[in-house]
Amino acid sequence: MENSPVRYAAEMKEGSTESPGKSRIGLCLDCHHVRRIESAKGSTFYRCAVSESDPKFAKYPRLPVLVCSGFKPKA
Ligand code: SF4
C-alpha cells in the first residue's frame, strides 16, 4: 500500500472532538468526489468518483480516509 494515494486510520482515538461522521468517514465526508449511496436496507456507502478514471483509487475506500491525494473540498 506504500504507493496508494489513500491512507486509512490504524485506530480511532477516544475522546475525539470531531463529529461522529467525520471520525468514521474521514476526508471523503467533505470531498467533492464522493458519491453517497444509500441501499434499500438503509446502509450508506461512500463511492469515490476518482476511481472511475484512476485505478489507484478504490471504488469504495476503506473508511476513515485520513490522507488522500485526490481530496478536493466541496464547494
Ligand atoms: S478522492 Fe479521496 S477523499 Fe475524495 S472521495 Fe475519493 S478517496 Fe475520498
Please report the DSSP string for 34-62 in residue order.
EEEEE-TTS-EEEEEGGGGT-TTS-SSPP
pLDDT over threshold 80, residue 63: yes
What is the pLDDT, as a whole number, of residue 5?
A: 83
Which of 4, 25, 28, 63 has the most ligand 1 atoms within 8 A of CB, as the residue to mutate?
28
Q: Return mean pLDDT, the chain.
A: 87
Ligand 1 centre distance from Cα of residue 73 (Å): 10
Name the residue ranges covered by the structural domains of the chain. 6-10+17-68
Amino acid (one-letter) located at 33: H
Q: Is-above-0.85 flag for pTM?
A: no
pLDDT digits 0-9 by tens, 35-48? 999 999 999 999 99
- Cα–Cα distance for residue pair 11/16, rounded to 1 Å: 12
Q: Give the pLDDT band of residue 19 (cuts 50, 70, 90).
A: confident
The set of protein residues with a Cβ atom below 6 angstroms from ligand 1 is 6, 27-28, 31, 33-34, 48, 50, 57, 61, 65, 68, 70-71
Would you state the cell numbers that stand for residue 43, as one nine-digit string?
446502509
CA dist 28 → 35, 38 (Å): 9, 15
Q: Give the pLDDT band of residue 12 (cuts 50, 70, 90).
A: very low
Which residues, other chains included, contact 65 with Cβ-Cβ below 8 Å and sequence gap of 6+?
6, 7, 8, 25, 26, 27, 28, 71
